[in-house]
Amino acid sequence: MLDQWFFLYIPLIFCGLSFLVNPVFIYLIFTEKSTNFGNYRYLLLYFALFNLIYSVVYVAVPLDIHSYRYCFFLTVRNGWFSEASEINFGIIALRCTMVAASYAVLLIHFIYRYLVIQNSSLTRHNFHWYLTISAVVFVVYFATWYAICYFPGRANVEIKEYIRKDFFEIYGTDSMDYNMLGALFHDGSNETVYLSWVATMTWTAISTASIIAFTVMTRMIVRKLRKISTNASKKTSKFQFELLRALIVQTVIPILISFSPCLLCWYSPMFGIPLAREINYLEICAFGVFPFADPVAIILCLPVFRKRIFCSCKSVPASVAGTTNSTNQRNS
């Protein structure tokens, strides 16, 4: 029953919330004054569309996460891509790459914010060149992560054998019938252990380097904003700080909610620490939270959006009350 909830209903609920929130977010972006956001609107649109695509993939490829002794693995046990095949294994690698691709999306946003305060022509007259650079950054991130996910695939047969007994006791099926993407840190052949350690360390290095890049660029942006705040108008300076704050929140949410569970999944098997099944369920849920949580956070962080949302909510009861009063007056 729990499996049905976490692999069928929870992804559908999260996907529904994403398709509810992101269109509202897009509407707010493109109905706001163009002078407030300029070309940044298109990056926010790209971010919202990425959230929608990710939500669909989250439903279409329902990953299960499990750990056993010195091994962790991700597999698809239900749906269109559960059958063991080369194509379906590529789909699993693609599914995992989607999580990491959000690093590239965030990095593109930080680069834009820095270029804006530098008054770069890439954010105004030559925006098409900035989009080209952004596309290259995204493709490099995506291709690199996909290759790393696919890299330890040669060890999958041994991993399936390693967890075969435990898999049957928990799921009642044979692990050899499913595609898996995982790592075995001990108790395996030298090649399998080597591939597992290299892949996991590379995942960690890319994630850590991305977070360091976000931190460094944040400090650079803050320093530059403090310098130009003396010459720029108070309103402009305040709005730039608000956009930066929204971007920081937009970055922190996926790191804490969705990427931190990855570390738990990767590193606990290195020390032979078993994770309870409830933690696996938590990890599965965490991967689907940020596509709808991030737009909500941005809306709440930016006063121009927050005022519009709450003013709209207040105006509806007020209009209803006004209609009721006029009806009562006519009746009297």
pLDDT at 3: 64
Q: For the chain, what are the domain ranges? A: 2-307
pLDDT at 79: 74
Give the mean pLDDT of the chain: 80
CB 9 within 8 A of CB 281: no
- What's the mean pLDDT in 27-41? 82
% of the chain surpassing 90 pLDDT = 5
Q: What sign for the dihedral angle of Cα 194, 198, 199, 201?
A: positive
Average pLDDT on 283-306 reads 83
Which tens digits make up the pLDDT trace of 137-186? 888 888 888 887 776 665 678 888 888 888 888 888 888 888 888 888 88
Reduced to 3 states, what is the DSSP secondary structure of residue 146? helix
Whole-number pLDDT of residue 154: 58
**Is residue 329 predicted with pLDDT exceeding 50?**
no
Confidence tier at 331 by pLDDT (50, 70, 90)? very low
Q: How far apart are CA 260 and CA 6, in angstroms?
A: 19
Q: Cβ(184)–Cβ(71) under 8 Å?
A: yes
Tokens of 139: 């493709």
Mind listing the pLDDT tens digit for each residue in 91-140? 888 888 887 788 888 888 889 888 888 888 888 888 889 989 888 988 88
pTM, 2 dp: 0.82
Q: How many CA atoms lie within 13 A of 61 on its CB side?
A: 23
Give me the mean pLDDT over the 285-306 stretch: 84
Residues 108, 111: Cα–Cα separation, whole Å? 5
Which alpha helices (H) appear in 151-259, and where do they start and end? 156-162, 164-171, 190-228, 234-254
Higher pLDDT, 277 or 200: 200
Question: Buried (b) or exposed (e) across 123-136, using 16+ Cβ within 10 A?
Answer: beeebeebbeebee
| CATH of range 2-307; options 1.20.1070.10, 3.40.50.970, 3.40.710.10, 2.60.98.20 | 1.20.1070.10
CB within 8 Å of 222: residues ≥ 6 apart: 244
Q: How crowded is the C-beta side of 285, counted as CA atoms within 13 Å?
A: 14
Write the DSSP assignment of 44-61 as a string of letters: HHHHHHHHHHHHHHHHHS
Contact of 275 with 67, CB cutoff 8 Å:
yes
The pLDDT-based confidence of 75 (bands split at 50, 70, 90) is: confident
